[in-house]
Amino acid sequence: MRYSRSRMLFGEDFEKLQGAKVLLLGVGGVGGFCLDCLYRSGVRDITIVDFDTFEESNQNRQLGSHALGEVKVEYFKREYPSIMIEKIRVTPQWCEDFDFSSYDLVIDAIDDMPAKVALAHHTGGKLIASMGGAKRLDPTKIEIASIWKTHGDALAKKFRYELKKSGFKGKFDVVFSPEVPHCTEMGSFMGVTGAFGLALCSLAIRKLRA
């Protein structure tokens, strides 16, 4: 039976996962793994939002990147038929216009800082987010904490600064890594970016079970 082992682990909470409605923003190196994990765990009502197509430079780390030139959300819709898709760039204006009220959880796996800040303001406490998985080699350094308690992660530091500057007073949990970067440019390793996505999925599952 497809979900028999998930049911063994989650018990009665498995029905919560089956009934949950999740919005996942970004299905790149982190978001793609998060989507796969959510779907295999029994979360079926997932809407994914991404504007991009697969490029050759994605092939070192992204699920689905063998489909060069294909729109990412369309590829994932074929792989996970129950999901809903939107091919659009997440921007501050999109965040202002979008209705987040029907979702139980909003997962931020995008890189754009103004959009990340806008999400924090508009998602009404339903947000969890990924910080920077690039430049790192050790997935065992990954941590989960409130955005305000992150450390050693340059993207998280920038995020905290921009949130404070924007007047944001709330809190939400993030996946981050304090590992010292191993390069100055945006080098990446699937062993870490994929682990970020799986950690983000784990955090989401625990939130949905609560």
Is residue 144 within 8 A of residue 174, CB to CB? The reply is yes
pLDDT at residue 185 above 90?
no
Tell me how far apart the alpha carbons of residues 138 and 152 are, in angstroms, rounded to a whole number. 14
Instruction: Give the Cα separation of 24 and 185 in Å (integer).
Output: 26
Count structural domains, the chain.
Answer: 1
CA–CA gap between residue 104 and residue 108 (Å, rounded): 14
Whether 33 contacts 63, CB under 8 Å: yes
Per-residue pLDDT of 13-26, as tens digits, reads 999 999 999 999 99
What is the average pLDDT score of the chain?
96
pTM: 0.97
DSSP state of 137: -
Tokens of 99: 């209705």
Beta strand 173-176 with 143-146 is: antiparallel
Provide the β-strand partners of residue 107: 24, 128
Task: Check if the beta carbon of residue 155 is closer than 8 Å to that of residue 174.
Answer: no
Average pLDDT rounded to a whole number, residues 156-184: 97
Question: Of all residues in the chain, what percent carry a pLDDT higher than 90?
Answer: 97
Once rounded to an integer, what is the mean pLDDT over residues 27-51?
97
Q: What is the per-residue pLDDT across 70-116, written as a single tens digit (0 to 9) for each?
A: 999 999 999 999 999 999 999 999 999 999 999 999 999 999 999 99
Whether residue 1 is predicted with pLDDT greater than 90 in this model: the reply is no
Q: Return the CATH number at 98.
A: 3.40.50.720
DSSP class of 148? G
Confidence of residue 141 (pLDDT cuts 50, 70, 90): very high
How much is the pLDDT for 186?
84
Q: Which pLDDT value is given to residue 181?
A: 94
| pLDDT tops 90 at residue 49 | yes
How many angstroms from the chain centroid is the CA of residue 158?
18
Sheet holding 127-130, edge to edge: 84-86, 45-49, 21-25, 105-108, 127-130, 173-176, 143-146
Range of the domain at 32: 4-209
